[in-house]
Amino acid sequence: MMPRHKPRSNSFPLLEAASRAFARQTSTVSIEPQSSEPRTVNPRLFRRALLVSFALYVTLGLPDGVLGTVWPSLRDDFGRADSSFGLLILCSAVGYTGSSIGAGHLTQRYGTGVVFRNASFAAVFGLALLSVAPTWWTSMVGILILGAGWGLCDASVNAWVALTQGPREMGLLHAAYGVGALLGPLLATPFIANGNLWRGPFMVICGLGVVLVVVIATARQGFDTAPVSGEVAGSPAPAHGSRQLLGLLIVWFSIYVGIEVIVGQWSFTLLTESRDYSNVEAATLVTGFWCGLTLGRFLLAGFGDRFSPERVLAVAIGVTVFGVVFFWADPAGVGAFALPVIGLSLASMFPLVMGRTAVYLGEARAARAVGYQIAASSVGFVILPAFVGVLADYHGVGVALPVAFTATCVLALLWLLIQLQLTRSTQPGSTQPGSTHP
C-alpha cells in the first residue's frame, strides 16, 4: 500500500497516507545518540516498520476470521459440543487480556522492537501448537498462547502508532485487521470443503507468521528510533485527574467493542430467527456491516487528518445511535439495511480514540494506557455479547438491539464525560492537551 514515488496530485489520498506522514515527521527531526553529534533519522526505517505493522495486522485478523468457519470441523474432530466454543473464546481472551495489560510496562523497559518480535514469536508458537494439537486441551493451550502473543502485539503496535504517527496511519492499521478478518473465511473454505481439514488454514497463517518474525527483526531499528509526533510531544500529562480520565477511556473502549461485537455477531441470528430473513439475505446484510467497518477505516486512512478527531467522533457516535434505533424500529421491514451504515459509523471510533490517547494523557503514560485500553476491549468483547446471550434465553434474540442501543447511549455519555474531564484537567496557565508547551 506504500507508493515508491510521489504522485503528482492529491488524487489518491489513501495511498499517500503513510508516506506523507513520514515526510512531515522526519524532515526536521533528529535524535541524539550517546555522542554529542545529532544523527538524522532515516525515514526508510519508519516506512519499513509501518509496513511491517500493517502486514502483522492483516495476519492478526486472519485467525479471527478462520476460527468461526472451521469450528464445526474442529468440534467434530475432538467430539465436543457447541458450548465448548465459548471455552476457546475464553482462553483467547484470558491470554489477550493478560498480555496487553503488561504490554506498556514491557515496551518501556525493552523497546517496541524487542517486544513486538517476541510477541510475534509467541503467537506463531501458539498457531503451530493449534495446528498439530492431538487433543482438545492441547488446542486450548495453543489458543491461550496465540491470544497472549496477539494481545502483546496489538497493544505494543497501537501504542507505537499512537505515539509516532497520525490518524491516517491508525486508520490504515485497523483497516488492515479488517482485511485479514474478511480474508479468513476465504482462506478456510477450501480446506473445509475438501475433507474438513481444519488445521490447514492455521498452518498457512503460521507460515506467514514465521516470515513476519524474520522481517520484524530487520525493522527493529525503525520501531525503536521513531520520533514522537509533534502533537504528542507538545501534549503534557493533565495537571490533575489523569486517573479519572484513564478510567473513563478504559470503560469507553470496553463498551465500544461490546457494541461492535453485539451488532456483528448477533445480527445474523436476529434476522433469521426473529425477522424471517433467509440465510443468504442475512449473511449478505451482516457482511455489509463488516464491509462498512473496513471501508470506514480506509476512509479514515485517506482523509483522517482533514477533520478534527473530536468532531468526527461526535458525528460518528450520533450516526451510530440513529442507525441502531432504525435497525431496532425496523420501519417498513427495512431496518436491517442500517447495518452497513452502523459499520461505517463505528469504523473511526476505535482507531481515533486510540490515536488520541497519547495526546490526552501525555507521552509518558501513553504506552501503559494503550495496554489497559486493549485489555478492556477484550473484556467488552466477552461480557456484553455474553450478556445478550443470557437475556436472549429468556426474552428472545430481539433483546440484542435494546442492549446495543443502551450501550451506545452509554458510549455517548462517556465521550461527553471524557471531554469534560479534559477541560477540567487544565488550569489557567496550564497547557491544553494537544497544544505546545508555553
Quote the percentage of the chain above a pLDDT of 90: 28
pLDDT value at position 386?
Answer: 83
DSSP classification of residue 52 = H
Of 295, 292, 270, 297, give the one whose Cα is nearest residue 281. Answer: 270
What is the widest separation between alpha-carbon atoms in the chain? 72
Of 362, 354, 102, 103, give the one whose Cα is nearest residue 253. Answer: 354
**For residue 167, what are the CA distances in angstroms to 94, 103, 303, 307, 401?**
29, 22, 9, 10, 30
Q: Domain 49-227: state its class.
A: mainly alpha
In angstroms, rounded to a whole number, what is the distance separating the alpha carbons of residues 342 and 53? 27
> Following CA atoms 6, 11, 13, 14 in sequence, which dihedral angle do they give, to the nearest 10 degrees?
-100
In angstroms, rounded to a whole number, what is the distance separating the alpha carbons of residues 86 and 92? 10
Q: Provide the grid cell at 278.
A: 433467509
Average pLDDT over residues 299-307: 84
Helix (H/G/I), strand (E/B), else coil: 2: coil
Quote the percentage of the chain above a pLDDT of 70: 84
pLDDT value at position 240?
Answer: 58
Strands 30-31 and 39-40: antiparallel
In angstroms, rounded to a whole number, what is the distance separating the alpha carbons of residues 35 and 150? 37
Residue 421: pLDDT band (50, 70, 90) is confident
DSSP classification of residue 227 = P
pLDDT value at position 69?
Answer: 78
Q: pLDDT tens for residues 338-383? A: 999 999 999 999 999 988 888 888 777 878 888 899 889 888 888 8
49-227 and 233-424 agree in CATH topology:
yes
Q: pLDDT tens for residues 116-165? A: 889 999 999 999 999 999 999 999 999 999 999 999 988 888 888 888 88
Res 41 pLDDT > 80: no
Average pLDDT over residues 40-44: 63
In angstroms, rounded to a whole number, what is the distance separating the alpha carbons of residues 50 and 17? 11
Average pLDDT over residues 21-47: 46
E runs forming strands in 362-430: none
In angstroms, rounded to a whole number, what is the distance separating the alpha carbons of residues 135 and 155? 31
Helix 167-193 × helix 279-303 angle, to 10°: 150
Res 23 pLDDT > 60: no
Q: pLDDT tens for residues 241-278? A: 678 889 999 999 999 999 998 898 888 888 888 888 88
In angstroms, rounded to a whole number, what is the distance separating the alpha carbons of residues 317 and 322? 9
Residues whose CB falls within 8 Å of the CB of residue 328, separated by 6 or more in sequence, listed in order: 335, 401, 402, 404, 405
Ranges 76-85, 250-259, 302-311, most confident:
250-259
**For residue 134, what are the CA distances in angstroms to 102, 137, 207, 263, 390?**
31, 9, 20, 35, 33
pLDDT value at position 129?
Answer: 95
pLDDT value at position 395?
Answer: 87
Q: Provide the grid cell at 84.
A: 465448548
In angstroms, rounded to a whole number, what is the distance separating the alpha carbons of residues 361 and 242? 7
pLDDT value at position 431?
Answer: 47
Res 25 pLDDT > 50: no
In angstroms, rounded to a whole number, what is the distance separating the alpha carbons of residues 158 and 164? 10
pLDDT value at position 432?
Answer: 44
Q: Domain 233-424: state its class.
A: mainly alpha
DSSP classification of residue 7 = -
Q: Which of 36-40, 355-359, 425-429 has the lowest mean pLDDT?
A: 36-40
Mean pLDDT across the chain: 81
Q: Which of 5-9, 259-263, 397-401 has the lowest mean pLDDT?
A: 5-9
Place of cell 492441547: 138
Place of cell 501504542: 159
Res 12 pLDDT > 60: no
User: What does the domain layout of the chain look like in residue ranges?
Assistant: 49-227, 233-424
Res 396 pLDDT > 90: no
Residues whose CB falls within 8 Å of the CB of residue 134, separated by 6 or more in sequence, listed in order: none
Question: Is the Cβ–Cβ distance between 249 and 418 less than 8 Å?
Answer: yes
Helix 199-218 × helix 112-132 angle, to 10°: 160
pLDDT value at position 236?
Answer: 60
Which ranges in 304-362 belong to alpha helices (H)?
Answer: 309-329, 339-347, 349-361
pLDDT value at position 109?
Answer: 85
pLDDT value at position 328?
Answer: 94
Of 80, 74, 78, 79, give the one whose Cα is nearest residue 198. Answer: 74
> Following CA atoms 65, 69, 75, 81 in sequence, which dihedral angle do they give, to the nearest 10 degrees?
90
